[in-house]
Structure 1
Amino acid sequence: MKKILHLTLFLAIVSALAGGALAWANNMTAPVIQANKEREEKQILLEMYPDAHVDDFQIVDFTSDDPDVQKIYAYGENYIFNMQVKGYKDGTNFLVAINKDDLTITKFQAISNGDTKGIGSKITEPAFAES
């Protein structure tokens, strides 16, 4: 009985230390990961609009019940929506630009895709954006 208590206490201490170490590592890397995602997103915005400057994209303050809309940028005559939709595995993250006046889609760019290769991954191919 005494051995079981010692092993249980040892396991609890090791688990607490491991959990604390993981929490600390997450706390240290989360800002870096977020900054990298924002940098990648801005790079894709500049690929979509090569004549633009990073400061030309203004984040629109919005509230939405739709969890798919992550951010909205205003650029010239367009609103650019950063969308993240759920899929079978990780889902898809993409940018879609919509003209403010006639509500037509002017540009589309996939950021990432974690869905089935060959089916869901077709969204990342240039032919998808052209259709």
Structure 2
Amino acid sequence: MSKDILRLAAILLVVCGIAAACVGTAHDQTAPLIEARRADAVRAGYKQVLPSAGQLTDEQAAGKRIVAVKRSESAGQTNGYIYTVDPDGYSGKVVIMLGIEHPSARISGVKILQQHETPGLGAKCTEPAFIDQFLGKDLSQELIVSKNAVKPQEIQAITASTITSKAVVKGINAARRHYQEHFGISLTAAGKGV
């Protein structure tokens, strides 16, 4: 009886070792491909949130919730900025990419890069019905979450998911503040105020 148990344990140990080696090899083989696809998705996201994006350079990403800032230049002129922000949602970080046209200070696009929100509720933050509300918004004033958005600076909350809605708006407002502090000379120059 004890010999059978030892024999079965040895077989199980060999099978587990082979399986672990296969998983490790598969991970090593696929990790560069996964990273390359992730980088391609980010580059595609740049064009999605700022269609006029030209040559991109990194800017200092200082501030709470600001992960990265890229400056876009076309024909020797700055034509926009791309922000990546990561506010806290209901179930973790919501990673958002946002394009801001320069010097008009209007939102040219928003893309949710990563979220772990509740399916059917907060996960709706990736849907056009929610995302498209941000397009063309003037960033001279903070955006506000509302149940019935009627004013230009209001964003209609996702039904039964106010926390996620507020998280996305909070992240975009963080990018707005950073933009105004570092690049938004045009806001005051145009007489819009801050």
**2:53 aligned with 1:57, yes or no?**
no
8 Å contact kept, 2:89–2:117: no
Which structure would you say has the larger RCO, counting Cα contacts within 8 Å and 6 or more residues apart? Answer: 2
Letter in 2 for 1:12: L
8 Å contact kept, 2:69–2:81: no
Partners of 2:49 and 2:8 in 1: how far apart?
A: 58
8 Å contact kept, 1:70–1:84: no
Partner of residue 73, structure 1: 70
Letter in 2 for 1:73: K
Letter in 2 for 1:32: L
**Long gaps (5+) in structure 2:** 73-77, 134-154, 156-194
Moved more, 24-33 or 70-79: 70-79
Question: Relative to 1, partners in 2 of residues 1:91 and 1:110: Cα closer, same or farther, differing over 3 Å?
Answer: same
Match for 2:120 among 114, 118, 121?
118
Partners of 2:18 and 2:46 in 1: how far apart?
A: 42
Q: Displacement, 1:4?
A: 1.1
Question: Relative to 1, partners in 2 of residues 1:98 and 1:48: Cα closer, same or farther, differing over 3 Å?
Answer: closer
Q: Displacement, 1:37?
A: 1.0
**Long gaps (5+) in structure 1:** none
**TM-score w.r.t. structure 2 length?**
0.50
Greater Rg over alpha carbons, structure: 2
Per-residue CA deviations over 1:24-49 (Å, capped at 9, x if unaligned) read 00110011011111111111210112
Partners of 1:32 and 1:61 in 2: how far apart?
A: 29
